[in-house]
Amino acid sequence: MSEQILSKAKQWLNPAYDEETRNRVQWLIDNDIKELEESFYRDLEFGTGGLRGIMGVGTNRVNIYTVAMATQGLCNYLKKTYPGELLKAAIAYDSRNNSALFARKTAEIFSANGFMVYLFDELRPTPELSFAIRHYRCHTGVVVTASHNPKEYNGYKVYWNDGGQLVAPHDKNIIKEVQAIKGIEDVNADAIDKLILTVKDEVDTAYLSKMMLLSLSPEAIQRQKDLKIVYTSLHGTGITLAPRLLKEFGFTNILTVAEQDKPDGNFPTVHSPNPEEPAALALALKKAEEENADLVLGTDPDADRVGIAVKDNNNNFILLNGNQTGSLLVYYLLCRWSELGKLDGKQFVAKTIVTTSLIEKIANTYKVDCYNVLTGFKFIAELIKNLEGKKQFIGGGEESYGYLAGDFVRDKDAILSCALIAEMTAWAKDNARLNDAVTQGKALYNLLIDVYLEFGFYKEGLLSLTKNGKEGSEEINRMMEKFRATPPSELDGAKVVLVKDYKNNTIKNTETGVVVETGLPKSDVMQFVCANETIVTVRPSGTEPKIKFYFSICGKLLNRDDFENENKNLDDRIENLKKIFSV
């Protein structure tokens, strides 16, 4: 172990740290050098989701000290950015272990630095924190959460005054301020209680009222108000608002999964509280089958992601992936905006570069601009901010189950998404009733097939390779270097015609040799575009010790009867691509 790591660890033995922390660090020094190295070999950094990591002692762990130092760095930066102003911050937290503790510590540090602090008195969804920043006209905001990560994790998402997560240059500048803090002694921890204001239900009311303005099909809901919906919060914050908003939208038949209603940071009924994983929705699916429900909705612990399940034509529940749900939602929004005469050429939708091209195809058909941004919803928020007053954001999202409509919130919003997905289901079922085109209970599934018939059968897949610790991080770096040095020339039976290197800001046409700029901020991402529309994207995760491979392919669906065969063909093509990159 390096002397540098040992020296960093020994700093945590001084009396500025509590006795339990000092004892744990000393034990690691004496007994577990490997864990000591993992805990201190680096400082936690802001990635696509902010500060996130395993809870424990050390500079590379989430604890009251790393939270306090991060908050002090944030305070220092804000005081330099807004000299002389009365600064304000909003703070929320989720159901994870220690979240309330970390939120309180964050509030105390803010107050000690003279900030007016709006601290939620109970756990609340992340998107409501984004809304609260704008509602109270704060300069910044923090939500304590690790989103969908396992129970060992926690995190600290930082937001700017527009309600969006940090983007350049603020993210890097704050990191510099945090790094300038040499220890807990540099933190101003003398809390001023009178500056910490408790946020109760007034923000709930304002937030839900704004969401109600985004409803597009109240008549369909009225006719389908008894739509049977099974909802699970996966022991998270969604239970506080999702059922309530569904009821306010007009739905009367909402069933929750009782075993998962209670917020619990240990997530006792699931291995991982991630709605992207089928196992997380197992109890909800079981209840839906027992109740013969129409729709299953499941949100992650901080309620910014939602997974759904619908009935197929064999009357079985199937889980839709994030690309499918996102495509349906964008189609629904654009279709209804068009039907209501609201499209005038000044609207746009947005997605990330790893999200299905189907969304762009749908938007082009409706003559609505579709913008592609880097992975991370903060870039969609930044786009909304940059286009404010010029173009109106209709909706959009990312393949990782995060969606947004309207601009009241500047982060992905599973509370709103639950209501709009339910409304979309009611609308599809209502149209089926009117047209006798499909069985009502399977309307959303058949709507998806209709979208494929009209716009092309796009299918996506994801391969995540976990590479833990310092060695894993180094291996991921080597893999990315190899892809840059020797990109593939052929994939999925087609020639790679474009190689996009977002880190070096280049797009190379392999046929002509012409190189142009990406037009996006630099990011450690490689993308290979084939002549047959197949796209493979490679990127290290910004929030987890993983390297991710995103696969997007396109087929042609000639008629409804061919759906199952073409679906299997596309699945086989994706599996073949996964084998190539499973290293």
Q: What is the DSSP string of 341-381?
A: T---S-EEEEEETTS-THHHHHHHHTT-EEEEE-SSHHHHH
Mean pLDDT of 7-22: 94
Known active-site residue 147: yes
Residue 266, Cβ density class (10 Å: 0-12 exposed, 13-18 middle, ≥19 buried): exposed
Long-range contacts of the stretch 309-314 (C-beta < 8 A, 24+): 309/281, 309/284, 309/285, 310/425, 310/442, 310/444, 310/445, 311/441, 311/442, 311/445, 312/442, 312/445, 313/439, 313/442, 313/445, 313/446
Percent of the chain with pLDDT over 70: 97
Sheet strands (E) in 192-346: 196-199, 229-232, 254-256, 295-299, 306-311, 317-320
**Within-domain flag for 8:** no
H, E, C per residue of 528-581: EEECCCCEEEEEECCCCCEEEEEEEEEECCCCHHHHHHHHHHHHHHHHHHHHHH
**Within-domain flag for 101:** yes
**Within-domain flag for 262:** yes
> In CATH, what number is assigned to the domain containing residue 482?
3.30.310
pLDDT tens figures, 220-235:
999 999 999 999 999 9
**Within-domain flag for 19:** no
Mean pLDDT of 127-151: 96
Contact indicator for 351, 359 with CB cutoff of 8 Å: yes
Give residues with Cβ within 8 angstroms of 229, minimum separation 6.
246, 251, 253, 254, 255, 293, 294, 295, 296, 297, 422
Number of structural domains the chain divides into = 3
Position 171 scores a pLDDT of 86
Burial 111-130 (b: 16+ CB within 10 A, else e): bbbebbbbbbeebbbbbbbb
Bond into 278 cis (ω within 30):
no
Same domain, 297 and 277: yes
Residue range of the domain that includes 465: 457-581
The most confident of the ranges 230-234, 310-314, 473-477 is: 230-234
Same domain, 317 and 214: yes
Same domain, 266 and 408: yes
Same domain, 215 and 181: no
* CA–CA distance, 494 with 430 (Å, rounded to integer): 42
Position 439 scores a pLDDT of 47
Same domain, 176 and 222: no
> In CATH, what number is assigned to the domain containing residue 398?
3.40.120.10
**Within-domain flag for 468:** yes
Q: Of the candidates 455, 482, 513, which is a domain's last residue?
A: 455
* CA–CA distance, 366 with 345 (Å, rounded to integer): 9
pLDDT tens figures, 523-568:
999 999 999 999 999 999 866 789 999 999 999 999 999 999 999 9
Same domain, 428 and 305: yes
**Within-domain flag for 30:** no
Same domain, 468 and 412: no
**Within-domain flag for 4:** no
Angle, CA 252 vertex, CA 247 and CA 253 arms, to 5°? 115
Least confident of 140-144, 282-286, 390-394, 465-469: 465-469
Q: Of the candidates 395, 425, 455, which is a domain's last residue?
A: 455
Least confident of 23-27, 101-105, 168-172, 335-339: 168-172
* CA–CA distance, 330 with 333 (Å, rounded to integer): 5
Task: Give the chain's mean pLDDT.
Answer: 94
**Within-domain flag for 14:** no
Q: Among the options 39, 95, 99, 147, which is catalytic?
A: 147
Position 436 scores a pLDDT of 53
Least confident of 130-144, 231-245, 371-385, 436-450: 436-450
Same domain, 308 and 394: yes
Mean pLDDT of 97-117: 98
pLDDT tens figures, 390-434:
999 999 999 999 999 999 999 999 999 999 999 999 999 998 865
Q: What is the pTM of this model?
A: 0.94
| Separation of first and last alpha carbons in the chain | 29
pLDDT tens figures, 340-366:
999 999 999 999 999 999 999 999 999
Helix axes 414-435, 202-212, angle to 10 degrees: 30
pLDDT at 518 over 90: yes
pLDDT at 382 over 90: yes
Position 46 scores a pLDDT of 62
Q: Of the candidates 455, 487, 502, which is a domain's last residue?
A: 455
pLDDT at 438 over 50: no
Same domain, 257 and 299: yes
Same domain, 444 and 499: no
Position 44 scores a pLDDT of 79
* CA–CA distance, 188 with 183 (Å, rounded to integer): 11
Same domain, 190 and 248: no
Position 444 scores a pLDDT of 93
Mean pLDDT of 183-212: 96
pLDDT at 148 over 90: no
Same domain, 441 and 520: no
